[in-house]
Amino acid sequence: MRGGLWQLGQSITRRLAQADKKAIARRCFASEADLKKTVLYDFHVANGGKMVPFAGWSMPIQYKDSIMDSTVNCRENGSLFDVSHMCGLSLKGKDSIPFLEKLVVADVAGLAPGTGTLTVFTNEKGGTIDDSVITKVTDDHIYLVVNAGCRDKDLAHIEEHMKSFTAKGGDVSWHIHDERSLLALQGPLAAPVLQHLTKDDLSKLYFGEFRILDINGATCFLTRTGYTGEDGFEISVPSENAVDLAKAILEKSKGKVRLTGLGARDSLRLEAGLCLYGNDMEQHITAVEAGLTWAIGKRRRAEGGFLGANVILKQIEEGPSIRRVGFFSSGPPARSHSEIQNEKGENIGEITSGGFSPCLKKNIAMGYVKSGNHKAGTKMKIVVRGKPYDGVVTKMPFVPTKYYKPS
């Protein structure tokens, strides 16, 4: 789904107020019967979730509160997201690390057991097939989560390379965790609320770290990570325990942690300067162009060995021709595909994500510009509905991140 989910949420809210809901569903959306549902679907509906199609799933765009209020509440208190549409999988076997390193840019071997990192799957031209958070559980077990909209192509890509790798004697197999659901608990109350539901000391689990532990009576995969810029966790829970866990989290927070939909998730990740695959990263965009050079391990830069390494390593050495940057802008919020011009009116790039920041109360956006125009403070024109408005390149994240790291 292209364009900001925040805009979609606002649009749906307005349209549902003006017209017959069933007619809109027939006219604008895929048939309800065609959509997959998470185990929390009935729970969302019962709690006022406005369900919309997303990556083949029926997902809540928002609940009873506005997307603006929901975004602010995540940063002030906390949010609980159902992200079970995303695909978790495990790679196992003594060669699982060398196998995965053929497909991603991360130094997986260099990760300590129980730690993870953001990475990207590359194609032969160095472009991005998908971004993913991968965790080295042990030397022969890797856990990773891929995007819902990329699931089919990611799994086909991994399977194709796994077949040739094992045919040559490599020891690697996989398990797709369709028996599990995924919840994301984000915000300043995430840790104190979750601590009520587990005996493990969460103060010793830092950003990017992973643990298998008992939460609310179920064996969960817990990663201290998220997609909001806030402290928080992604919890992989057996599907039969997912609704009970969601209820327990909300109950322990005494109403301060709220169920939150995809609309606020989109504005939160944009405020945090994080990419949305399909908008800010695509098959033709490299990790270097996307500003993710930091995710390419030092050893990988020296050795290569992943698909498209020749293109990516050359960009690291010589600099990319385009770069992802952040913007503040005047006028209406910039949207995906808005043209970016220099002060002479020449086209120098395109917006990939944009909207009104609920926390900063101003327009923010990110996009790609020709190198040389990427320095913070550079003035631009951003064209919205045919009219140019003032914009300025700014550093990201727009809202400071609050990841829980050792002091």
Which segments are annotated as binding site? Answer: 234
Q: Pick out the residues of the known binding site for substrate.
A: 234
d(CA 402, CA 272): 10
Name the E strands within 74-179: 78-82, 87-92, 115-122, 128-138, 141-146, 173-176
Name the E strands within 224-304: 232-238, 257-259
**3-state secondary structure at position 358:** coil
Which sign, positive or negative, has the C-alpha torsion 162, 163, 167, 168? negative
Per-residue CA distances from 27 to 19, 31, 36, 206 (Å): 12, 10, 19, 46
Helices (H), 5-101: 5-18, 21-28, 41-46, 67-76, 96-101
d(CA 19, CA 115): 49
d(CA 195, CA 204): 12
Per-residue CA distances from 248 to 171, 200, 243, 253, 382 (Å): 40, 17, 9, 9, 46
Q: Which of 315, 287, 294, 277 is nearest to 123 (CA)?
A: 287
115-120 LR contacts (CB < 8 Å, sep 24+): 115/208, 115/209, 115/210, 116/143, 116/208, 116/209, 116/210, 116/223, 116/225, 117/208, 117/295, 118/292, 118/295, 119/295, 120/281, 120/287, 120/290, 120/292, 120/295
Q: Which of 3, 4, 24, 2 is nearest to 266 (CA)?
A: 4
Q: Identify whether the C-beta of residue 189 lies closer than 8 Å to the C-beta of residue 80.
A: no
